Chains A and B, each alone.
Chain A
Amino acid sequence: MERDTIVHRVRTALRRTATDPRPDPPAVYFRIPEWDRAERIRRFTDALEALGGRVHIAPATAVAETVCGILRGRTALISGDPFLRECGIPQLPGVEGPFANAAEIRSAAVTADVGITVSAYGLAETGTLVVFPNEAESRLISLLPPAHVAVLRARDLLVNLDELLSRVPDPGAASSAMVMITGPSRTADIEQILVRGVHGPGEVHVVVTDRETE
């Protein structure tokens, strides 16, 4: 079997046997600066806007209004996250969903102008959204439409990747995929000229809100 052949070749090359003990790996290394919420919001906004994304700070009651302003009459598909319903997003004009089955989500995501999702976390240092597809959140809604609007609760705004990994040591435990999104889709493959919106959304909006769900 190829598996045994390769493992055997590796052992031979390393002059190890199956019973040799494995030393502990080097200690995990994190660098997490202490930033308060205001600092995190400021850093997040600076980082994402530098990449061509837009950050909107909305009070608890104004999330729907803010999203409506971003849509400007475009059609949108929403994910099944209950927080969007709480915010009143499904009632906005032009908004469809949430859909329950994969085929419906896919065909709606192909035609929608905007995909609206909830981001599980934000990373202030890099302006990054962290999404975990699950029953409610799809992989494709934040990917297929030309624009992506993410709602992010301010309490979920972490300092950086290191803090995320210290809180979520195994991202695979919760979902089959964790995706970190840092700004709009981009390429510089032709003459190093920056072009936004290659395969993913060229337009990324994040609505940061203080609204709590409990």
Chain B
Amino acid sequence: MAIEQPAKIEETLQDGRVQLAIYAATARLMVKRKDSIAPDRCPDYQELRTRANAIKRHTIENLDYYLEQVEKSVTERGGQVIFCRDATEVADFVLELAKKRDAQLVVKSKSMTTEEIDLNERLEHHGMEAVETDLGEYILQLAHQKPYHIVAPALHLTRYDVADVFSERLAAGREVVPEKQTLIARRALREKFLAADIGITGANFVVADSGAVVIVENEGNARLSSSAPRIHIAIAGIEKLIPRAQDLAVFLRLLGRSATGQPLTVYTSFISGPRRGAEADGPDEFYLVLLDNGRTKVLADTSKRESLFCIRCGACLNHCPVYRKIGGHSYPWVYSGPIGAILSPQFMGVTHDPWLPFASSLCGACAEVCPVKIEIPRILLELRSEVVAAKTREKKNRWERLAFRAYAWIARHPSVWSALGLFGAAIAPDEPSHWIRQLPAALNAGPVREWLSQRDLPPPPSRTFRDLWRERQGTRVQ
């Protein structure tokens, strides 16, 4: 099947420097993951995967219950839950709140969900300043680029690229040592944290029973975003729910290991509501935005809804022979790699980027490393057949529409109709070897061939229906 692929793929394959960067980074992450799940370090790793899958399945299959529960529990702890159908509703909510509270500056910690809805662009369009604070995301924001990887967003850039970006955009000296580059970012962003009115974070998990969001990170920017400004907004997809805080014993042990080979990331924040009465510090207001943005559409598909189990660890990207060659920017949406290849067609429709489910060797590495056991290869196969079905439908429609239009015209003209009937009767076969019985073979080409591959071409009858009808009426009268 000839399906057009983006030019970015060829460009990435030709770029030796980027090839090396992807290869080195993903190889490193693969080794770290493998070390961290070695039997002496994580003896029950497979058991954890099975449990994680069961908890996610249970939550997704009873999602309406947990959505109502989390709304209640967050409210009880002094926060507010905002349901949003799409990107516009999220932006509208943030803008309206900012206007009411006279807020100008937003600090953001890394969140794939906000990337999905282009929140920064929408806020900036309305005159607000939104600053990414994760080091990698900060570099990308300055360079006007999209994340290359779910957990390592600037994986494709070298320290020299970073030096270019910083010296150009921050008026800093050209600095090529990562320690010093990090310090430049720390200083610039510290000012933003202390001046910001609103902190926006994502959420790795939303805990239904205690009304909390759980945010894992290594740098401390999510802690700052959720603690320093007077307003904290956490934005999460509706699929991020887990029933109980105690389920974190399963998920946190899997997430860090699968993402970066860490038994636990440096910081895990469990945030339920704003600062309470006598607490020393913390934000005055807390909002949890729960976003649909196409998720309920995926939910309706029983065989593929497990795509929503994903906890965004990025392990499937690191282990994918295709991602490792074509890189993160070749994918059509913010989610790249195998998980992107199954999420994007379901969110945007299979005809949007029909090549995507085919960009896989079906080697199965993604499913093997997935901490929540999503059957990515099976879902890819289903999506492939959906792409083919959509293409076939499209092609057939063209010829069918023509054929049916002709039929409609004939049916509306009785004289043509009976003339064709008489013609059919005149050429009706009277013996098995009649020429008309050989006709299907002669017509066996082009669109007719496709039509005949599933159907027989019946020979015309020797007498027309009208003829038989007249005869029958005459018999009755007698």
**Nearest A residue (CB) for B277:** A135
1/0 contact string of B188-219 vs chain A (CB within 8 Å): 01100110000000000001011110000011
Q: Which of B71, B267, B281, B300 contacts A179 (CB 8 A)?
A: B267
Give chain B nearest CB distance to A76 CB in angstroms.
Answer: 17
**When the two chains form their complex, are residues B223 and A139 in contact, meaning their CB atoms are under 8 A apart?**
yes
**When the two chains form their complex, are residues B280 and A80 in contact, meaning their CB atoms are under 8 A apart?**
yes
**When the two chains form their complex, are residues A182 and B136 in contact, meaning their CB atoms are under 8 A apart?**
no
| Cβ of B311 under 8 Å from chain A | no
Q: Which of A10, A12, A197 has the most CB of B within 10 A?
A: A10
A133 CA to B223 CA, complexed, in Å: 12
Residues of chain B with a CB closer than 8 A to A12's CB: 296, 300
Residues of chain B with a CB closer than 8 A to A68's CB: none
A195 CA to B175 CA, complexed, in Å: 15
A182 CA to B296 CA, complexed, in Å: 36
Give chain B nearest CB distance to A49 CB in angstroms.
Answer: 14
Residues of chain A with a CB closer than 8 A to B286's CB: 176
A187 CA to B89 CA, complexed, in Å: 33
A140 CA to B194 CA, complexed, in Å: 11
| Cβ of B264 under 8 Å from chain A | yes
| Cβ of B220 under 8 Å from chain A | yes
Residues of chain A with a CB closer than 8 A to B223's CB: 139, 143, 179, 199-200
Give me the interface of B with A, judged by CB distance under 8 Å.
Answer: 21, 24-25, 28, 44, 47-48, 51, 54-55, 58-59, 61-65, 67-68, 71, 77-78, 81-85, 89, 133-136, 139, 152-155, 157-159, 162, 178-179, 181-182, 185-186, 189-190, 193-194, 207, 209-212, 218-221, 223-224, 226-228, 238, 243-250, 252-253, 260, 262-276, 278-282, 286, 290, 292, 296-297, 299-300
**Nearest B residue (CB) for A17:** B64
The dominant DSSP class at the A interface is loop
Q: Which of B85, B190, B272 contacts A176 (CB 8 A)?
A: B272
**When the two chains form their complex, are residues A125 and B65 in contact, meaning their CB atoms are under 8 A apart?**
no
**When the two chains form their complex, are residues A172 and B281 in contact, meaning their CB atoms are under 8 A apart?**
no
| Cβ of A169 under 8 Å from chain B | yes
Q: Which of A28, A133, A140 contacts B228 (CB 8 A)?
A: A140
Residues of chain B with a CB closer than 8 A to A192's CB: 24-25, 28, 152, 155
**When the two chains form their complex, are residues B159 and A176 in contact, meaning their CB atoms are under 8 A apart?**
no
Interface residues of A in 56-112 (CB under 8 A from B): 79-80, 102, 105-106, 110
Residues of chain B with a CB closer than 8 A to A22's CB: 62, 65
Give chain B nearest CB distance to A199 CB in angstroms.
Answer: 4
Give chain B nearest CB distance to A144 CB in angstroms.
Answer: 8
Residues of chain A with a CB closer than 8 A to B178's CB: 190-191, 193, 195
Residues of chain B with a CB closer than 8 A to A42's CB: none
**Nearest B residue (CB) for A172:** B272
**When the two chains form their complex, are residues B244 and A28 in contact, meaning their CB atoms are under 8 A apart?**
yes
Give chain A nearest CB distance to B309 CB in angstroms.
Answer: 14
1/0 contact string of A161-175 vs chain B (CB within 8 Å): 110011001111101
| Cβ of A128 under 8 Å from chain B | yes
Q: List 12 A-B contacts (CB under 8 A).
A: A10-B64, A14-B299, A22-B62, A23-B58, A79-B280, A133-B279, A135-B278, A173-B210, A176-B286, A189-B154, A192-B25, A198-B182
**Nearest B residue (CB) for A137:** B280
Residues of chain B with a CB closer than 8 A to A11's CB: 64
Give chain B nearest CB distance to A201 CB in angstroms.
Answer: 8
**Nearest B residue (CB) for A80:** B280
A186 CA to B217 CA, complexed, in Å: 9
| Cβ of A178 under 8 Å from chain B | yes
Q: Which of A10, A162, A172 contacts B299 (CB 8 A)?
A: A10
**When the two chains form their complex, are residues A133 and B263 in contact, meaning their CB atoms are under 8 A apart?**
no
A181 CA to B207 CA, complexed, in Å: 20
A47 CA to B226 CA, complexed, in Å: 27
A140 CA to B186 CA, complexed, in Å: 16
**When the two chains form their complex, are residues B64 and A180 in contact, meaning their CB atoms are under 8 A apart?**
no
Residues of chain A with a CB closer than 8 A to B78's CB: 176
Residues of chain A with a CB closer than 8 A to B219's CB: 185-187, 198-200
**When the two chains form their complex, are residues B194 and A180 in contact, meaning their CB atoms are under 8 A apart?**
no
A173 CA to B59 CA, complexed, in Å: 22
A187 CA to B84 CA, complexed, in Å: 32
**Nearest A residue (CB) for B57:** A26
Given contacts A2-B85, A28-B247, 18 further A-B contacts (CB under 8 A): A13-B296, A14-B63, A14-B300, A25-B55, A26-B58, A29-B51, A31-B249, A143-B224, A161-B249, A170-B210, A172-B77, A177-B269, A177-B271, A189-B136, A190-B181, A195-B182, A198-B135, A199-B224
Give chain A nearest CB distance to B43 CB in angstroms.
Answer: 8
Residues of chain B with a CB closer than 8 A to A185's CB: 218-220, 266-267
Interface residues of A in 1-50 (CB under 8 A from B): 1-3, 5-7, 9-14, 16, 18, 22-23, 25-26, 28-31, 47
**When the two chains form their complex, are residues B296 and A190 in contact, meaning their CB atoms are under 8 A apart?**
no
A161 CA to B82 CA, complexed, in Å: 31
**When the two chains form their complex, are residues B300 and A6 in contact, meaning their CB atoms are under 8 A apart?**
no
A175 CA to B77 CA, complexed, in Å: 10
A169 CA to B270 CA, complexed, in Å: 12
Residues of chain B with a CB closer than 8 A to A189's CB: 134-136, 139, 152-154
Residues of chain B with a CB closer than 8 A to A171's CB: 210, 212, 245, 270, 272
**When the two chains form their complex, are residues A186 and B249 in contact, meaning their CB atoms are under 8 A apart?**
no
Please list the 8 inter-chain residue pairs (A to B) with the smallest Cβ-Cβ separation, ordered nearest first.
Answer: A200-B220, A172-B272, A189-B136, A199-B220, A13-B300, A138-B280, A9-B296, A172-B210
A181 CA to B265 CA, complexed, in Å: 8
Q: Which of B28, B139, B220 contacts A143 (CB 8 A)?
A: B220
Residues of chain B with a CB closer than 8 A to A18's CB: 64
**When the two chains form their complex, are residues B267 and A182 in contact, meaning their CB atoms are under 8 A apart?**
yes
Give chain B nearest CB distance to A116 CB in angstroms.
Answer: 14
| Cβ of A122 under 8 Å from chain B | no
**When the two chains form their complex, are residues B247 and A140 in contact, meaning their CB atoms are under 8 A apart?**
no
Residues of chain A with a CB closer than 8 A to B134's CB: 189
**When the two chains form their complex, are residues A140 and B281 in contact, meaning their CB atoms are under 8 A apart?**
yes
A3 CA to B74 CA, complexed, in Å: 14
**When the two chains form their complex, are residues A172 and B270 in contact, meaning their CB atoms are under 8 A apart?**
yes
With A190-B159, A199-B220 known as contacts, the answer to whether A161 contacts B282 (CB < 8 A) is no
Give chain A nearest CB distance to B411 CB in angstroms.
Answer: 40
